[in-house]
A and B are shown apart, each in its own frame.
Chain A
Amino acid sequence: MKSKGAITPLDRQHSYVGRNLSRDKAKRAVNGRGRYTDDITLPRTVHAAFVRSPYAHAMITDIDVDIAKAEEGVVLVMTGAELKELCTGPWVGTLSVFPTMKTAPQYPMAVDRACWQGEPVVMVVANSRAAAEDAAELVSITYKELPVVAHKETALEKNSNLVHPDLKDNLAYEKVIDTGDVGEAFAGADHVVEATFDFGRHTAVSLEPRAILASFEKDTEELTIYTSSQTPHMFQAIIARTLGLPEHKCRVVAPFVGGSFGLKIHSFGDEFAATAASLKLGRPVKFIADRLESFLTDIHARENTVTGKMAVSSQGKIEALEIDILSGVGAYSQYPRTSVFEANQILNITGGPYKHQNYKARMRVAYMNKVPTSQYRAVGHPIGNSVGEALVDLAAEKIGMDPVEIRRRNIMEDNSYPRTTASGIEVADMSHQKCLETLVERMKYDDLVQERNSLRAEGIFRGIGIAAFIKGTAPGPAGYYGAGGAPIASQDAATVKIEPSGNIICAVGVTDQGQGVDTVMQQITAGAVGVLPEMVRVIEGDTDATPYGGGTYASRATAIGGEATYQAALALRAELLRLAGALLQREPETLDIIDGNVVDLGTENIRMPLAEIGRIGHFQVAELPNDIQPQLSHTKRFRLNDALYIFTNGIHGAYVEVDCDTGFITLLKQWVVEDCGRVINPILADEQVRGGSVQGIGGALYEHCIYDDQAQLLNGSLIDYLVPMASEMPDIDVAHVQTHTGVSELGSKGVGESGTGASPAVVMNAVNDAISPFEAKVTVQPMTPDVLLKALNRI
């Protein structure tokens, strides 16, 4: 652990950390030269298409593939039952950290029963995707429809239809936490506020859909997979286990990845089917999900109803919080990360910024005949924060206190860490107070309040929202994956090495999906070794070329992978100084490395370029004393210890206008102040917050997977499923408070989800402020005009 405030190589004048380096890959992507999985063409490639269940729940009584098989260009038709024979066993999406959790075992394609609309039933592989789709239309499947579980509200009732009769009921998991004495706190409270909140299902909508190109060489029994993944090593582990292959003969490459947001950390049946087809055919098999398939089969998220209750004193002290979560998931728990994680996060983080000691929360997770849900950017946080922050506003309203003031009185003090939240999670190195005051200043809060009030008199209804948050980032080994049993590394690794030219290669286990993870590693390496950024090349996304790592998810890349990179770079730097010392016959301590040259410490007189050490270290080792064996390559790993996460914090502000006749909301401005610890690249951090906030706004206002009573998805296209677009988005002002985490020397925490986690909360609070003159409240997301008009009693 580092002592706080110590000067590290990263704080030096010549460091490239903390600067706005631009991403090399951005230029390539903008010029249309990015190489995504679908851009990769291998000789003899064939293409997979799937026949999917049109029903949410049905027995498959007969499959006739003869006509399809005979079609021109078709090379393989495989049913779910045939694929099952190629699998070592079913997937079971549970983790040992959720002890009583239950789920049905599942295979990559439906075997004799389809449990959600869109579940793959038959795969057709042909010379082109079009030919595969033509033949897929000729597959004839007879179904016998079964009763459907379409609503979480009734799924847990005694006489409900069952998704899996073997499980006896539809309850995936139930958990209660109860801290302090909630009953007494509510009984004795000055005031109690209460509301029920409803959150619609939505999905990630990555610009590049899921994609895989699997190529099995029968002669060497080596499998190479190109896939749009955040987690190549996890994919390698699961593909090897599922299809019974030796792991070291499976190479997984994630080339350019066009957005992911958590979508691409899961295992999807169609991708495993395509891989199995390659094993069978000994040919490369490509499967690219189209947009309709994406909506039908990508993991969904956020479908929750939460009832919440808060006790508050007349002086504005939050005394107690109680929530009850009903989480509606899909037909199976998503392998290998589970579908109960979301509700568990809601339970963990609701009310997280505040000091109250009495907290009770119950979560129940219900299976439904819908596509499985799982981790999507800021898992659970948009819901927990919306609930917690709306209750704080209700409490403020009840006692006539300003929303900023009530938060000021209840947030944890900046000098009070480490401490434990009422939900039992340990938090440290936080800055709620600093963030709040910075926000108030940047918003010019008092002026805004005045403007809102005077416009109200003119019949213009504007609202101001505030929402504080905590965010779990960079999960540790004691938590869900490591200890939970899933084959996912919670530590990460970096190899930093010098080439004969004196340039540096940095290979990392974390991956880039367009957010600039590679640029961040480049800056850390350049800063730590002491070279120019252009002297560093970062390699990621290839299990053959990088050390074993967990990949990028849960805002962990910089916090975990960044520290591994930093330590590996420091190790290389130390060796380079030792070699230089030997060559220059000087004590290493008297030397420094700046911009690729070994210099005298202090005077910065250049003594030797690193190219010289590279040349000697690789080619002319004889110039070195016999007792020096150059390594020139250093691998370091970084793990957290007991911590569940590195928690971050921050606060959002929003200013909106509501047209109370039409129910339309105009977002005027948003502010975010967050604390991700050390900022490596300010512009990349800002854009993570902005993009994340926009994604949160999507959920708050637009995005919704709409199902009917038979669990049929009604809006599987981008015409009907509305994603947020630039025209409607506000200017988002971003500021960072940088409280370094004490768990690493780098000091960075995660930043990727801080926008998404609280953006829905702040927009909902602002909307409710805007319509408060009508004594109306909105507690449903997305907040469509229909929802608003109903709340306003206009329809």
Chain B
Amino acid sequence: MKAAKFKYIRPSSLDEAINLLSDFGEEARILAGGQSLLPTLNMRLSQPKVLIDINRLDELQGISHEGKHIRIGALTRHVDIAESDLITENIPLISEAIEYVAHVAVRNRGTFGGSVALADPAAEMPACTLALQGTLVVEGPNGRRQIRADDFFHDLYETARAPEEILVEVQLPIRRSGESFAFMELSRRKGDYAMAGLACKATFQDNRFLSVRLVYFGTELKPTLGENVMSQLEGREWSETLAEKVIASLEDDLDPVDNLQGSAAMKLHLQKVLTKRTLAEVVQRLGNV
């Protein structure tokens, strides 16, 4: 199918882009890598009147080390994340997870910012951003503001970003000693969106969980914290029995939806399996930190 007619504008500064967004309001859509947006246009699932191409905005580029966090410009392509030493060394969860994002051709164009802004419930980067307690920086007509990842993901494709705001960058905290990460997902084929997935960050003291963050994706309407499981793990020493015990309470954290990949029951089951495996992995990795 061919997209319906639209007006195409390519601003050359962030200010110009924001002005365009406020001028056109709901009629406009930001075009980043286009890997999610263009298929929906071609299928005529959405028919925006205006596309604002942000690909030439320098303000949105680059990966840099800034104090206690790594700044990832919204336009950073998936491929550049995968190849960044800065990320491998400082936010290993991201470099582990990025391998699961789509296929080479899609990774060459798709952007980190596009992925987080879109907030697909089965996407890896939003889940990792939440697991890492990152900060999202958006800019709109009223200026710049920072949004904690915990406050960003509202519902299916709904985020705290206002329509006239652009996601400029994401700040992710640099790993600290005592932290361990693990990432697992199940997809039918390499590169597919997750059927079920889990991003985990844990800190330990004297072999006990000091804190754990478990972010589930692929089964809920948005990346979701496993708060019940997390609270039961805190302060405890790892054992398989503990894992068995806590995963029962995953039912209080998750409310999967049936979809083409399978039933809600299957999804809950898979997340339980992943929880056990991920916790075992994160503990084992701690020994190697």
Contact = CB atoms under 8 A, between A and B. Distances in A.
Interface stretch (A129-137, A466-474, A526-534): A129-137
- Secondary structure at the A interface, as helix, strand, loop or mixed, is loop
A662 B43 contact: no
Interface in B113-146: none
Interface stretch (B57-65, B77-85, B260-268): B260-268
A51 to B, nearest CB: 13
Contact of A784 (B5, B262, B269): B262
Interface in A755-795: 784-786, 789, 794-795
Interface stretch (B183-191, B211-219, B235-243): B183-191
A306 B260 CA distance: 24
Contacts of A64: none
B162 interface: no
A391 to B, nearest CB: 28
Given A129-B2, A786-B266, A715 B260 contact: yes
Interface string A701-734: 0100010000000110101101011011000000
A661 interface: yes
A11 to B, nearest CB: 45
Contacts of A785: 186, 188, 195, 261-262, 266, 270
A292 B43 contact: yes
Contact of A720 (B2, B195, B260, B262): B260
A290 interface: yes
Contacts of A725: 189-191
B289 interface: no
B1 interface: yes
A127 to B, nearest CB: 13
A197 interface: no
Contact of B186 (A129, A664, A715): A664
B147 interface: no
Contact of B269 (A133, A702, A719, A795): A795
A661 B184 CA distance: 14
Contact of B189 (A130, A137, A722): A722
Given A714-B260, A720-B260, A727-B189, A133 B266 contact: no
Contacts of B38: none
Interface residues of B, number: 25
B190 A794 contact: no
A661 B190 contact: no
B156 interface: no
Interface in B154-186: 186
B4 interface: yes
A717 to B, nearest CB: 8
A724 B188 CA distance: 10
A134 B5 contact: yes
Contacts of B192: 722
Contacts of A662: 186, 270, 273
Contact of A786 (B4, B191, B263): B263
B269 A794 contact: yes
A66 B204 CA distance: 71
Contacts of A722: 188-189, 192
Nearest to B270: A662
A134 B195 contact: no
Interface in B189-209: 189-193, 195
B74 to A, nearest CB: 24
Interface in B240-279: 260-263, 265-266, 269-270, 273
Contacts of B186: 662, 664, 785
B1 A795 contact: no
Contacts of B1: 133, 290, 292
A548 to B, nearest CB: 38
A721 to B, nearest CB: 9
B190 A728 contact: yes
Contacts of B4: 133-134, 137
Given A664-B186, A728-B189, A795-B269, A133 B2 contact: yes
Nearest to B192: A722
A702 B188 contact: yes
A661 B266 contact: no
B157 to A, nearest CB: 15
A558 B263 CA distance: 46
Contacts of A663: 266
B2 A130 contact: yes
Looking at B1, B44, B265, B266, which has the most chain A CB atoms within 10 Å of its CB?
B266
Given A662-B273, A706-B260, A727-B190, A789 B5 contact: no
B207 to A, nearest CB: 26
Interface in A97-142: 128-130, 133-134, 137
Contacts of A714: 260
B48 to A, nearest CB: 15
A728 to B, nearest CB: 6
A129 B1 CA distance: 8
Nearest to B47: A137
Contacts of A128: 2
B32 to A, nearest CB: 19
Contacts of B265: 795
Contacts of B195: 785
Contacts of B261: 784-786
Given A133-B1, A727-B190, A795 B266 contact: yes
B273 A661 contact: yes
A713 to B, nearest CB: 11
A720 B122 CA distance: 13
Looking at A128, A292, A722, A786, which has the most chain B CB atoms within 10 Å of its CB?
A786
Interface string B8-36: 00000000000000000000000000000
Contact of B263 (A661, A664, A795): A795
Interface string A470-486: 00000000000000000
A297 to B, nearest CB: 13
Contacts of A727: 189-191
A137 B1 CA distance: 12
A295 to B, nearest CB: 12
Nearest to B273: A661
A789 B269 CA distance: 9
Contacts of A715: 260
A724 B192 CA distance: 12
Nearest to A722: B188
Nearest to A724: B189
Nearest to A47: B2
Contacts of A728: 188-190
Contacts of A290: 1
A130 B3 CA distance: 7
Looking at A663, A714, A717, A728, which has the most chain B CB atoms within 10 Å of its CB?
A663
A632 to B, nearest CB: 51
A34 to B, nearest CB: 19
A73 B28 CA distance: 26
Nearest to A788: B266
Nearest to B190: A727
B38 to A, nearest CB: 13
Contacts of A702: 188-189
Contacts of A661: 273
A313 to B, nearest CB: 41
Nearest to A128: B2
6 contacts: A662-B273, A664-B186, A722-B188, A725-B190, A785-B266, A795-B266
Give the 7 A-B residue pairs with the shortest CB-CB distance, closest first.
Answer: A786-B262, A130-B2, A727-B190, A795-B265, A661-B273, A795-B269, A786-B266
Interface of A: 128-130, 133-134, 137, 290, 292, 661-664, 702, 706, 714-715, 717, 719-720, 722, 724-725, 727-728, 784-786, 789, 794-795
Interface of B: 1-5, 39, 43-44, 186, 188-193, 195, 260-263, 265-266, 269-270, 273
Given A292-B1, A715-B260, A722-B188, 17 more contacts: A129-B2, A130-B5, A134-B4, A702-B189, A722-B189, A722-B192, A725-B190, A725-B191, A784-B188, A784-B261, A784-B262, A785-B188, A785-B266, A786-B263, A786-B266, A789-B266, A794-B269
